[in-house]
């Protein structure tokens, strides 16, 4: 069994070292951040405040001074980055951050408005997922039927006025362009609703200051996963300037018990990196997105939104059809990883130092996979190409 596990680990590591990863939901953490992820912090408990019962039993732990100091450091850096007065790094996923706002601001029978999963909305907010088990009535942010990544604001505003939801959560897994946070927040506030911005996908660009600033533009709460365009460990965060009391109330022992302090240490390291390098990294991500999209479009791929310069985020989209689904398998066979939703992401390869010229090379690998080229030979060229990019960028001090 021990050798089997070792072999699985080694095979996975080798595959990833030799692959071009174009999955928009993934990124790579630096050696600096990885050091903390495997640290002793991961074996420890810490309570910000003791938990006491009416019977006199109380829970708190000794030896936690440095954990407390580390959590405080992470929270303060994150507050500064997102212009927030309250931050929680306790959620171990963006899903838990979504759960926190549902717990904090809704009760069974309430109406909420989310981004429809049929248009790329977060699956956890599907009618049959979290809302079903919290007995919430789900309505959808309205979109342009021909451009489902674009919100139809007038229809959405009318629906908000009609149903008067408790919260509106913008939670799209296909975020290509900034949205009108100010307009959506203002309309929500007219009906005493909260506007929640899920920045999971564009978080690295938000940190880099080139996408949008949700809290400064009017969002009541920013929630996010921390491992997509933001190059942190898998986890979540919550930030607000208005509802610290409500969110803290559902934090420890409600959405989370042990928040995995090694993860928070690693996330803090990533925040420190992005505080210094975030703008440089984010700008290169967007340049790479546009370059790869443009190159594939020029070779006949049905890349969406050429009229909008393809995307302003870490990913662009290709129309999903039978040809695309066949392409996915071909690409995996030559160690190029993409997903089945038509999303092509460049964040991880940017972290390894790839720029516009490399995006053109990747485009040619994809083009050639559609031809009559020898696939084994093409795979070897992909592996040789990827091995030239094994050093992390945007993290050294």
Give all domains of the chain, ordered by start, each with its CATH number.
31-271 (3.40.640.10), 277-387 (3.90.1150.10)
Quote the pLDDT of residue 2: 85
Characterise 71 by phi-psi region: left (phi > 0), alpha (psi -120 to 50), beta (else).
Answer: alpha
Q: Please state the separation of Cα 148 from the chain's center in Å.
A: 19
CA distance 327 to 321: 10
CA distance 315 to 293: 9
**pLDDT surpasses 90 at 54:** no
* Closest to 304 in 3D by CA, of 108, 315, 335: 315
pTM: 0.97
**pLDDT surpasses 90 at 369:** yes
CA distance 20 to 120: 24
Instruction: Name the band, by pLDDT with cuts 50, 70 and 90, for residue 371.
Output: confident
Residue 356 neighbours by CB distance under 10 Å:
14
CA distance 60 to 390: 43
When computed from its CA atoms, the radius of gyration of the chain, rounded to whole angstroms, is: 22
The DSSP code sequence of 129-182 is SHHHHTT-EEEE--EETTEEEEE-HHHHHHHHHHH--SEEEE-BTT--S---HH
CA distance 118 to 105: 25
Instruction: Name the band, by pLDDT with cuts 50, 70 and 90, for residue 23.
Output: very high
**pLDDT surpasses 90 at 59:** no
What pLDDT, in 10s, does the model give residues 254-312? 999 999 999 999 999 999 999 999 999 999 999 999 999 999 999 999 999 999 999 99
What are residue 122's phi and psi, to 5 degrees? Answer: -60, 125
- The SS3 of residue 191 is coil
Tell me the H-state helices in the chain: 2-17, 31-37, 65-82, 94-105, 130-133, 153-163, 181-190, 203-207, 244-249, 261-298, 322-333, 347-351, 356-369, 375-387
CA distance 311 to 287: 10
What pLDDT, in 10s, does the model give residues 118-176? 999 999 999 999 999 999 999 999 999 999 999 999 999 999 999 999 999 999 999 99
**Dihedral of CA 155/160/161/163: which sign?**
positive
* Closest to 209 in 3D by CA, of 277, 288, 290: 277
Residue 243 neighbours by CB distance under 10 Å:
17
């Amino acid at each position: 069994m021990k050798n089997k596990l070792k072999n699985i680990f080694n095979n996975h590591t080798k595959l990833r070292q030799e692959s071009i990863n174009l999955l928009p939901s993934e990124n790579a953490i630096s050696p600096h951040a990885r050091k903390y992820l495997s640290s002793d912090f991961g074996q420890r408990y810490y309570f910000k405040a003791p938990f006491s019962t009416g019977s006199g039993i109380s829970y708190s732990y000794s030896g936690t001074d440095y954990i407390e100091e580390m959590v405080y450091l992470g929270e303060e850096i994150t507050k500064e980055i997102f212009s927030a007065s309250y931050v929680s790094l306790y959620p171990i996923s963006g899903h838990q951050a979504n759960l926190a706002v549902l717990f904090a601001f809704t009760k069974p029978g309430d109406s909420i408005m989310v981004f429809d999963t049929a248009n790329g909305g977060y699956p956890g907010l599907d009618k049959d997922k979290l809302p079903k088990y919290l007995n919430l009535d789900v309505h959808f942010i309205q979109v342009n039927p021909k451009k489902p990544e674009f919100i139809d604001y007038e229809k959405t505003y009318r629906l908000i006025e009609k149903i008067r939801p408790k919260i509106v959560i913008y939670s799209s897994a296909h975020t290509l362009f900034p949205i009108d946070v100010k307009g959506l927040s203002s309309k929500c506030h007219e009906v005493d609703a909260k506007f929640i911005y899920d920045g999971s996908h564009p978080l690295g660009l938000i940190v880099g200051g080139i996408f949008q600033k949700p809290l400064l533009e009017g969002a009541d709460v920013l929630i996010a996963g921390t491992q997509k365009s933001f190059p942190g460990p898998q986890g979540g965060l919550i930030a607000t300037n208005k509802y610290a009391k409500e969110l803290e109330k559902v934090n420890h022992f409600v959405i989370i018990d042990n928040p995995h302090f090694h993860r928070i240490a690693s996330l803090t390291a990533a925040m420190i990196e992005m505080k210094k390098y975030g703008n440089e990294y984010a700008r290169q991500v967007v340049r790479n997105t546009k370059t790869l999209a443009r190159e594939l479009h020029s070779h006949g791929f049905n890349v969406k939104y050429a009229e909008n310069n393809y995307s302003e985020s870490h990913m662009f989209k290709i129309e999903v059809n039978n040809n695309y689904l066949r392409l996915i398998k071909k690409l995996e066979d030559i160690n190029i990883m993409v997903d089945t939703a038509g999303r092509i992401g460049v964040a991880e390869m940017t972290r390894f130092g790839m720029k516009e010229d490399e995006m053109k090379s990747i485009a040619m690998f994809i083009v050639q996979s559609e031809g009559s080229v020898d696939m084994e030979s093409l795979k070897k060229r992909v592996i040789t190409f990827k091995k030239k990019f094994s050093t992390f960028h945007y993290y050294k001090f």
